[in-house]
Structure 1
Amino acid sequence: MKYIDYNNMKDFYTVEEVCRLFEMDKAELKCHSDQYQIQPQEDQYGNWGFRKVLVRKLHNFIYKEQKNNGSQHNSTAYGRRNAPWA
């Protein structure tokens, strides 16, 4: 996981933008999102993504996981809408 300057972040990132920021595909991002129970939200314009605080939180979890043990993530389904991952 690369370094991200939390001070210069936008207020909202779409799912695609988070994938580029984290350098991972949607399936891997979804897996981490499910694992840490941080789900995308729909903004007022109908875009699915994450508020800045959630991007930071998810980035921190993934960074620590990779740094500590480098283990693979564990995917868990929570029955939420699948729309943001389409």
Structure 2
Amino acid sequence: MKYIDYHNMKEFCTIAEVCHLFEMDKKELQYYSEKYKIPPEQNQDGVYGFRKVKFCKLHNFIYKEQKYGASSAPQTQRKDPWA
């Protein structure tokens, strides 16, 4: 997963644009979207994609998984701040 500059992004990216930016096909994007429970949404024109906030969240989860391995999924990686 490559670095993506969130500051210069559009507010909404279509599924095709996300596939291009993440360098993966639709099936792989669908897998990660379902795994991390970040589904695509429709914009005002009825086109499916991801708002910038959800795009960044999904990218972050995939990046960490690919960098650190599946064992560091978001649920297991979080530590109790009160411990």
Question: TM class, shorter-chain normalised?
Answer: 0.7 to 0.9
Match of 1:3 in 2: 3
Query: Sequence identity, in percent?
Result: 63
In 2, Cα distance between the equivalents of 1:2 and 1:49? 20
- TM-score, normalised to structure 1, is 0.80
In 2, Cα distance between the equivalents of 1:63 and 1:21? 12
In 2, Cα distance between the equivalents of 1:5 and 1:41? 22
Count of residue pairs brought into register by the alignment: 71
CA RMSD of aligned residues (A): 1.2
Unaligned runs of 5+ in 2: 72-83
* SS of residue matched to 1:13: strand
| 2:13 matches 1:13 | yes
Letter in 2 for 1:41: E
Please list, as runs of the form range in 1=range in 2, the aligned pairs for 1:36-75 lying within 5 A after superposition.
Answer: 36-69=36-69
Higher-Rg structure is 2
Structure 1 runs, 4 residues or longer, greater than 4 Å off: none
Displacement, 1:66? 0.4
Which of the two has greater helix per residue? 2
Match of 1:82 in 2: none
- TM-score, normalised to structure 2, is 0.82
